[in-house]
Amino acid sequence: MRTLDCKTVVEVTSRLCREANCVLEPDVVAALEMARQEEVSPTGRDVLGQLLENARIAAREEIPICQDTGIAVVFVEVGQDVRIAGGSLEAAVVQGVRKGYEQGYLRKSVVAGPLDRVNTGDNTPPVIHWRVVPGDCLKISVMPKGAGSENMSALKMLKPAEGLDGVKRFILETVSSAGPNPCPPLVVGVGLGGTLEKAALLAKEALLRPVGTKNLVGELAGLEESLRVSLNGLGIGPVGLGGRVTVLAVHILTYPTHIAMLPVAVNLNCHAVRHKTAVL
Amino acid sequence: MSAPRRIILPLTDELVAELRAGDRVLLNGTLLTARDAAHKNLVALIAQGAPLPVDLYGQVVYYVGPSPAPPGRVIGACGPTTSGRVDSYTPALLARGLKGMIGKGFRSPEVITALKEYRAVYFGAVGGAGALLSKCVRAARVAAYPELGPEAMHELVVADFPAVVINDIYGGDLYREGRRQYAVNDGGGVLCGQA
């Protein structure tokens, strides 16, 4: 049994919040650079150049990439052979978010109630997804999720008879009707199967996969590529000003489902695809 | 792509009439910032016939909620937020002399009609370029509603703030036109409604 102290969890979560908001992941930088080479629209190329320059300034000067530093979505994988000492693990994650957003000069965008809309003042609580896994490690991923792309995401319970065509149509409709709002070029996370909430969670988890990596399931890799080509044919382009790069990648995760269900969730992420992971 | 046009604020009717969807501009002068909550307050005052805390005539409102300014800096990251959330409030502000708005994303048909009626333009700034755009801000001060925190109205002094005309007074719409120019499929025929 390995022991980890809550203080370490606070410090690491805090650092992940700051880094995720100020430093673009190398795979995302590479994808944006490739997009700039592929984009045929001069305006689109100019926009992609500005986004790369923005990333350089943000990392160098520790200014957030985007002023919407999001609600913190935190994925925690707890090894079943880890013992947490010094308090509540959940409270430590929350404290880490509080500290990271305060000390990193990140925007506090969380309201206490969806209807009363009173700001909590410290960007807590985060949305935490827990998973217990074999081993003696603790893995924390922080994904600051902004409203621009989250608000254009969608979920539908399809009829099984709608099949693959129905799934493709729903993904295309979601990206098409979102247009410029979610800050394209996007990474499109798709959750297919399970139940209503499982599909939504899969779609979000799919956004954590590095851009430019292939789906390990061969048939899904093919589907992702054909969707990427279709979506880039929509013409929306970088920040919606017209162009051939509307999505950087499509990432699909699936799960077994019920004989009478076909849930499909589409979670859009802006061009920054902000997230940082640490393994303790 | 033609060179951007340098504009000194505030906007006039004559200047607005010269701007066309797709024109790139560099804005210089003072911008007002406002998000959902500030819009709600302003429109409530207009409905009551009460005076506004800021004069909107000829002004440009930037839809932004900056991140906090670290010590030694004028402002934190300050890119545009989604404009559509304030669409229902916008015509009332245009009727009070507002001449321009900066944001990102679609406007409603009602806003696009109001732009023609009141002779005003909608600019887009690059969404997600908050660090880059912060470099254009020379000064910032709270103009109204400090209690709203990140949603307070600010007055920003900007130099060469880059934007592009999305909707003009002639019905031009860069989101629609840009997309039409580059679309090679309509995703099965069910997709072109909103763009």
CATH label of the domain that carries residue A120? 3.30.360
Which sign does the torsion angle of CA A2, A133, A266, A246 carry?
A: positive
- Domain region containing A128: 2-20+65-145
Q: Say which amino acid occupies B50.
A: A
Chain B residues whose CB is inside 8 A of the A69 CB are 67, 77
CB pair distance less than 8 Å for A180 and B106: yes
In chain A, residues with a C-beta closer than 8 Å to the C-beta of B76 are: 63-64, 67, 105, 107
Token pair 């069910």: residue: B190
What is the spatial distance between Cα B80 and Cα B84, in angstroms, rounded to a whole number?
Answer: 12
Local confidence band at B188 (pLDDT 50, 70, 90 cut-offs): low
For the cut 50, the answer to whether the pLDDT of residue B195 exceeds it is no
Assess contact for A96 and A14: CB atoms under 8 A: yes
Residues A134 and A266 in one domain: no
Could you tell me if A117 and A186 lie in one domain? no
The model's pLDDT over A137-192, given as tens digits with 9 standing for 90+, comes to 999 999 999 999 999 999 999 999 999 999 999 999 999 999 999 999 999 999 99
Do A212 and A247 share a structural domain?
yes
Residue B191: pLDDT over 60:
no
What does the pLDDT average to over A7-36? Answer: 98
From A98, A113, A145, the end of a domain falls on: A145
Residue A259 covered by a domain:
yes
pLDDT for the residue numbered B193 = 42
Mean pLDDT (chain B) is 93
How far B152 CA lies from chain A's nearest CA (Å)? 13
Q: Are residues A116 and A172 in the same domain?
A: no
- DSSP label of A242: S
Alpha-carbon distance of B95 to B120, in angstroms, equals 10
Q: B192 and A230 in contact by Cβ < 8 A?
A: no
Name the 3-class secondary structure at B77: coil
Give me the pLDDT at residue B189, please: 52
Q: In whole angstroms, what is the distance from residue A267 CA to residue A250 CA?
A: 10
Indicate whether B190 pLDDT > 50: no
pLDDT over 90 percentage in chain B: 90
List chain B residues with CB under 8 Å of A117: 37
Tokens read off for A156: 């539908």
Q: What six digits make up the tokens of B146?
A: 């400090």
* Rounded Cα–Cα distance for residues B131 and A62 (Å): 9
Give dist(CA B29, CA B46) in Å, integer: 26
Q: Which two tokens stand for residue B55?
A: 């004069």
Q: How many other CB atoms are there within 10 angstroms of residue B193's CB atom?
A: 8
ipTM exceeds 0.90: yes
Number of domains observed in the structure of chain A: 2
- Which of A98, A122, A145 represents a domain boundary (last residue)? A145
The per-residue DSSP string of A85-97 comes to ESS-HHHHHHHHH
- Chains A–B, number of C-beta pairs less than 8 Å apart: 196
Helix A89-103 / helix A6-22 crossing angle, nearest 10 deg: 40
Structure tokens at B31: 């911008």
Query: With respect to CATH, is domain B5-182 assigned 3.20.20.450?
Result: no
